[in-house]
Chain A
Amino acid sequence: MEDKKQKVYEILIGILKEFAEEKELDILENPEMSTNLYGSEGNLDSLALVRLAVELEEAISDEFDKDITIVDDRAMSQKRSPFKTVGSLIDYLMLLLEEEE
């Protein structure tokens, strides 16, 4: 994994582990790329999804000094949301970071 993607991965996993502790969600303790986040089989509710987006924006701004805005017309849709899995969210974050280059 390239450095930047690795860092994004670590940021996301860090936040998810905090969520796991707070919400007693064992599945988020050791998330994998395929772990479901949001959607029909998701482990996060819409409240947690909003908080995740806010915390990711801040952590990414601190780490890369880039202000991304996690908005997407599909964000709240159940099927094609970039928030569906850990993997899809990392891909989406990388895309947002690239757009900021």
Chain B
Amino acid sequence: MVTIVTGTRKGIGRFLAEYYLEKGHIVIGCSRTESDLEHDNYHHFIADVSDEKQVKNLVKTVYKKYGKIDNLINNAGIAMMNHIIFTSVSAVQRVFDTNYLGTFIFIREVSKIMMKKSYGRIVNFSTVAVPIHLDGEAIYASSKAAIVELTKIAAKELGSYGITVNAIGPAPIKTDLIKNVPEDKIERLLNYQAIKRFGEFGDIANTIDFYINEKSDFITGQTIYLGGL
């Protein structure tokens, strides 16, 4: 299996890279800076996911080397927590560039390769902040709501080529992404969930395992929110 995971320098992306390496996948990771992850089957690219040229180069290089891409996990993302009144235009641009545009460019480029084999599994990242409509998360949650819609329509447009597109909406996990979110906000967020606990990396891996399973060829256009929302 050839699996691309974006945003592998730390957090969920790093965990997923190591997880799928352990399962015997060839993992291609990327981030804006170097990675210290060393493994015979791991290949790291320094790339900004919202840079069309860099993404095209990454995908082309992977295709030339391996001749296929089985799985794409669009994990790269940045968080922002702020009141609309205090939010700068450049911050909005930055969040949408990474969270939305980056996912779009990767889907477009990788699905061209997947079409050749009439097989592909694409997993995008949304968030539980979307169905909760959490105040302070207007920009972040909007960028991730756009991912849900992109997932649904990409699933329709790519379905006839054997490519499935699904999304996962993780519950808060203790990573850098939420380290600046006040405790009471997190507490409130957890209270919306049917199961009121933090998410674990393993919860995400379990959901992605289901989506990328070869047998999941009839599962597409879906978003699973962890914790029960």
Q: Is A67 an interface residue (CB 8 A)?
A: yes
Question: CB distance B60 to A69 under 8 Å?
Answer: no
Q: Is B197 an interface residue (CB 8 A)?
A: no
Q: How far does the alpha carbon of A69 sit from the alpha carbon of B53 in the complex, in Å? A: 10
**What 15 additional pairs, Cβ within 8 angstroms, besides A47-B161, A57-B112?**
A47-B160, A50-B115, A50-B161, A51-B115, A54-B112, A54-B115, A54-B116, A58-B112, A61-B60, A67-B53, A67-B56, A67-B57, A67-B60, A69-B52, A69-B56
B interface secondary structure, majority: helix
Set of chain B residues within 8 Å of A67, measured between Cβ atoms: 53, 56-57, 60
Q: How far does the alpha carbon of A12 sit from the alpha carbon of B60 in the complex, in Å? A: 21
CB distance from B159 to the nearest CB of A (A): 11
Set of chain B residues within 8 Å of A47, measured between Cβ atoms: 160-161
Q: How far does the alpha carbon of A47 sit from the alpha carbon of B158 in the complex, in Å? A: 9
Interface readout for A63-98 with B: 1 if CB under 8 Å, 0 if not?
000010100000000000000000000000000000
For A58, give the chain B residue with the smallest CB separation: B112
| A contact residues vs B (CB 8 Å cutoff) | 47, 50-51, 54, 57-58, 61, 67, 69
Interface readout for B29-56 with A: 1 if CB under 8 Å, 0 if not?
0000000000000000000000011001
Chain B, range 158-196, C-beta contacts under 8 Å to A: 160-161
Set of chain A residues within 8 Å of B52, measured between Cβ atoms: 69
Q: How far does the alpha carbon of A47 sit from the alpha carbon of B112 in the complex, in Å? A: 12
Interface readout for B55-77 with A: 1 if CB under 8 Å, 0 if not?
01100100000000000000000
Set of chain A residues within 8 Å of B53, measured between Cβ atoms: 67
Set of chain A residues within 8 Å of B116, measured between Cβ atoms: 54
Q: How far does the alpha carbon of A54 sit from the alpha carbon of B53 in the complex, in Å? A: 17
CB distance from B172 to the nearest CB of A (A): 37
Q: How far does the alpha carbon of A50 sit from the alpha carbon of B157 in the complex, in Å? A: 10
Set of chain A residues within 8 Å of B60, measured between Cβ atoms: 61, 67
Q: How far does the alpha carbon of A60 sit from the alpha carbon of B115 in the complex, in Å? A: 18
Lowest 5 CB-CB distances: which A-B pairs, in order?
A54-B112, A67-B56, A54-B115, A47-B160, A51-B115
Residue contacts A-B, CB under 8 angstroms, 17 given: A47-B160, A47-B161, A50-B115, A50-B161, A51-B115, A54-B112, A54-B115, A54-B116, A57-B112, A58-B112, A61-B60, A67-B53, A67-B56, A67-B57, A67-B60, A69-B52, A69-B56
Set of chain B residues within 8 Å of A58, measured between Cβ atoms: 112
Q: How far does the alpha carbon of A61 sit from the alpha carbon of B63 in the complex, in Å? A: 13
CB distance from B98 to the nearest CB of A (A): 20
Q: How far does the alpha carbon of A39 sit from the alpha carbon of B229 in the complex, in Å? A: 44
Q: How far does the alpha carbon of A67 sit from the alpha carbon of B52 in the complex, in Å? A: 11
CB distance from A57 to the nearest CB of B (A): 7
